[in-house]
Amino acid sequence: MLVAFIGLCVWAHVQMPFFTSVPMFLENPWGIVTLIDLYLGFFLFAGFVLLFEDNKIIGWIWAVLPLFLGNAIGLAYIIFNGRKLSKALWVRSKSR
């Protein structure tokens, strides 16, 4: 899924570079809503990462990267940290 998403981003960039398309987003009300929704998701992801990441420097790196590189970073974080996250969630659910 990660590779497919990165491939889709590369394809889109070849068709129309990202910064060329930004004015089109900002002229369209749904483009503005979509960008706000996207960045709201990034900030929620950042909170999730900082909650579970023991090393705060690493946590901040993972939290900030999606702002520039998109949700592929969030997907990569979940792939690389899936076991740790599932164990932490399992322990938290058992302690309630």
Could you tell me the residue ranges of all domains in the chain?
A: 2-94
How confident is the model over 28-83, as pLDDT tens digits?
Answer: 999 999 999 999 999 999 999 999 898 999 999 999 999 888 888 998 999 999 88
pLDDT at site 64: 95
Q: Which amino acid is at 92?
A: R
Residue scoring higher pLDDT (74 or 5): 74
pLDDT at site 96: 64
Separate counts of helices (H) and strands (E) for the chain: 5, 0
Residue scoring higher pLDDT (37 or 84): 37
pLDDT at site 92: 66
Q: Write the CA distances from 5 to 61, 68, 74, integer angstroms.
A: 21, 15, 12
pLDDT at site 86: 85
Q: Write the CA distances from 50 to 23, 46, 55, 56, 59, integer angstroms.
A: 32, 6, 9, 7, 5
